[in-house]
Amino acid sequence: MPKKKTILLPKAEKILSQLGENIRLARLRRKLSAEQVAERANIGRSTLWKIEEGKGSVSMGNYLQTLLVLGLEKDLLTVANDDTLGRKIQDADLTVKERAPKKNNK
């Protein structure tokens, strides 16, 4: 079965490109070669190159493995952590319970 090509919107491509650049810069700041990071992440050098280019065809697991090697895995936990819009939508959809009518004690 042929592999399905991932099609990304330009905005998504730009975000992945920036992520890849950030990963590349983090690697360089740590003075690690691409070969060292690829080996430690248990991925191929070409896969690391695709990550640093921000390609959408690379699995999320490979991105995570690379972040783990660089000590940046906790950064991934900040994604959607402060979902302000989602919380507003959730709060707007909440129903308020009505109080039961008072009993008349005669």
Asked whether the beta carbons of 44 and 34 are under 8 A apart, the reply is: no
pLDDT category, 20, cuts 50, 70, 90?
very high
pLDDT category, 35, cuts 50, 70, 90?
very high
At 29, the amino acid letter reads R
Average pLDDT taken over every residue of the chain: 90
pTM of the model: 0.77
Distance, in Å, from the CA atom of 96 to the CA atom of 6, rounded to the nearest integer, reads 43
Q: Of 49 and 106, which is predicted with more confidence?
A: 49
User: Domain boundaries in the chain?
Assistant: 10-93
Q: What percent of the chain has pLDDT over 90?
A: 65
Q: Is the pLDDT of residue 95 over 80?
A: no
Q: Is the pLDDT of residue 23 over 90?
A: yes
CATH of domain 10-93: 1.10.260.40
Q: Which residue has the tokens 């992520």?
A: 19
